[in-house]
Amino acid sequence: MYGLIGNPLGHSFSADFFNKKFQDEGIDETYRLFPIPEISDIENLIGNNLDLKGFNVTIPYKQQIIPYLNALSDEAREIGAVNVVKIDRYNNKVILTGHNSDVIGFRETIAPMIKPHMKKALVLGTGGASKAVIHALKSLGISVTSVSRKRSENTITYNDLTSAIIGENHIIVNTTPLGMWPNIDESPAIPYIFLTPDHLCYDLVYNPEITMFMSKSKEMGAIVKNGLDMLHAQALAAWEIWQA
């Protein structure tokens, strides 16, 4: 058995994706959703599900899960966030190893869309997903500025976004849950009026298919993409990690 931990999980397509994969390929496994109120609940979850071989991690636990792990892959350690955990059981000992397949999924799906003039990016949000996105963008030679509600080192606020800043950052990635079902009328507070057809606006949210962030960006002519292809790519990478 495999699964997904997070809170909430009503938006997730992961169970449908994996269970269809298992059925199509004749794999005798199941994938379940495990909404846990606190990250500390992970210990009981693993102890009560002895057939659990691995799980994905989503909002808000991609960073909080790390202290509960026995080991990290080099990339997960460098990124500072985990979205895949492999479980190995040796007699009565449980070994949890954290990996990050978000970086693979995002890099594979945005790379074909990047045009020569796209040298700089704004990453909206500073959670676990943003860390994988930043890592991927930098590996593609893109300069990154983070945007959050609070200013900090290497991070500006939404109120700092001017015409000039939007104009020179042709890639904008939403890593926040704003606009995710059921709160589909929400969107990051950026000045959409400054977007142009030279911009690429990528939303990690995939439910709904067209988010408010994407809709407002598309109205200004920007190229838009949701996170569904990323979900599929990172899920396949997770499966390879579990089978290794």
* pTM (two decimals): 0.93
pLDDT of 20: 96
Instruction: Give the mean model confidence (pLDDT) for residues 209-233.
Output: 98
Q: What pLDDT does 11 receive? A: 87
Q: How far is CA 212 from the centre of its chain?
A: 18
pLDDT higher than 90, residue 154: no
Q: Which helix (H) or strand (E) holds 70?
A: none
pLDDT at 87: 98
Residue-wise pLDDT for 57-112, tens only, equals 999 999 999 999 999 999 999 999 999 999 999 988 999 999 999 999 999 999 99
Q: Identify the residue with better confidence: 150 or 97.
A: 97
Q: Is 100 helix (H, G, I), strand (E, B) or coil?
A: coil
- Average pLDDT of the residues in 200-222: 98
Examine the residue annotation and report whether 218 is marked as an active-site residue of this protein: no
Q: In whole angstroms, how far apart are CA 180 and each of 57, 106, 214, 216?
A: 17, 18, 12, 15
Per residue in 15-49, pLDDT (tens digit) is: 999 999 999 999 999 999 999 999 999 999 999 99
Instruction: Check pLDDT > 90 for residue 204.
Output: yes
- The residue annotated as part of the active site, out of 20, 21, 53, 62, is 62
What percentage of the chain carries pLDDT values higher than 70? 100
Please report the pLDDT score of residue 92 as a whole number: 85
Per-residue confidence (pLDDT) for residue 152, from 0 to 100:
87
At 153, list the tokens.
Answer: 């080192």
Compute the mean pLDDT over every residue in the chain, rounded to the nearest whole number. 96
Average pLDDT rounded to a whole number, residues 153-171: 96
Task: Return contacts of 139-144, CB within 8 angstroms, 24+ apart.
Answer: 139/103, 139/107, 140/107, 140/110, 140/111, 140/114, 142/114, 142/118, 142/171, 143/119, 144/120
Across the range 111-116, mean pLDDT stands at 98
Q: What is the pLDDT of residues 125-142, one digit of tens each?
A: 999 999 999 999 999 999
pLDDT the model gives residue 10:
87
